[in-house]
Amino acid sequence: MAVVEINFDGIIGPSHNYAGLSLGNLASKRSAGAVSQPRAAALQGIEKMRANLALGLSQGIFVPHTRPDRAWLAELGTDIEQADAVLAANAMSASAMWAANAATVSPAPDTADGKCHLTVANLRTMPHRSHEWPGTLAQLKVAFGADAFAVHAPIPPAFGDEGAANHMRLSTAHDERGVEVFVYGLSGGGFPARQHLEASKGIARLHRLHPDRVIFVEQSEEAIAAGAFHNDVVAVANERVLFAHELAFADKQSVVAALEARVSGFEYVEVPAAEVPLDDAIRSYLFNAQLVTPPDGLPTLIVPSEARETSSVWSWIERHLAGNGPIRRVEVVNVRQSMANGGGPACLRLRVVADPATVDQRFLVDDDKLDRLTEVIGRWWPEQIHHEELQKAALIGEIELARLTLLEALELTELA
């Protein structure tokens, strides 16, 4: 089978809750303390995957991590029953559902050794995410264990790396040699810049990318300060198209010029701040959308329902479609539970360009497998979680049993 882009979505875990742990993520902070709905959240994610399949896209999954992370708490000399409330919330976080932060991926056409390289993100900026990488690495080694792949441990934690959320790839087609764009931050006012330049450079070296096919780009301080904690909140690329807010980059002109020189047929689609203020773009997650090319060849933007409900954003989308721009179709999905915690459609998926036959088939889904996942989630995922219940034995037992049941259904019990 030909090399294609596969979207691997994180299944939203049974411990999905609103603890407001992510500094700089405004949606996460707004929802802090609210009652979450893990079952509805996971089912929304399943329906998004089903919509991708309906478009003809290849679809994969990652499974939720062990929660609570008892091993991490033990390293801190405590356990879930005795930890203080904030530490317990960090150990119960379901944020691994946002697979865009799982790893950075360089497909075989770009690498010197002809392998698809994946480097697991260290996520060292936020405590609740910093202990994700061992669980993610374990899954990557199973899913991408074939000789076609090279899976790397995280960059040393002196340098923050948050994965594909700060990485874009442009090419004439997915199976052609591309240009990889690494976006890093320096400052964001009161918010931390999470992607370090040295981490990005290290990944480019590990992935054996040719220096002429790599661009390092600084994210604008204004975007970070406004709540664009990752580049994918203000920009997304697919094949020859870069779709970005006017204020996404510190030096927009140099980014566009570099891509025009390196990518045949490059198209830049900019959303002006005068038409869509940065706050509207971030609140609606217009750019945290999946920009994809289905088999029918029509570049398609998959946006959250919040984009349709934000007048400036939806007006811009309608004008772009009417003007015969590079994006030819827009699909709307409901991922409200994820959005309330600060992650849109693009946060939930990691793009891997590869031959699906080389991937462990347990990580790939069709409609029948999604039906089975729906049954497991509908029966075993908690319906609601109140923040103050996170350390209750009954809830913890329910969460642990739900994850084990899912692994058994997928025949992935080696990840238990």
Contact 118, 150 (CB under 8 A): yes
Options 167, 207, 230, 245, the catalytic residue: 230
Residues pairing with 137 in the sheet: none
Mark whether 162 is an active-site residue.
Answer: yes
Contacts with 131 (C-beta within 8 Å, 6 or more apart), sequence order: 69, 72, 90, 91
Instruction: Report the alpha-carbon distance of residue 209 to residue 205 in Å, rounded.
Output: 6
- Please give, one letter per residue, the 3-state secondary structure of 302-353: EEEHHHHCCHHHHHHHHHHHHCCCCCCEEEEECCHHHHHCCCCCCCCEEEEE
Would you state the torsion angle of the CA atoms of residues 300, 265, 59, 27, taken in this order, to the nearest 10 degrees? -60
Instruction: Report the alpha-carbon distance of residue 95 to residue 15 in Å, rounded.
Output: 9
Six-digit token pair at 109? Answer: 């056409």
Question: Please, where are the H alpha helices in 11-55?
Answer: 26-30, 38-54
Options 132, 162, 218, 306, the catalytic residue: 162
Closest CA to 294 of 322, 263, 331, 255: 331
CA angle (111, 117, 119) in 5-degree steps: 135
Mark whether 245 is an active-site residue.
Answer: no
Mark whether 347 is an active-site residue.
Answer: yes
CA distances in angstroms from 213 to 86, 182, 255, 265, listed in the order given: 43, 11, 13, 16
Query: Which positions are catalytic?
Result: 162, 230, 347
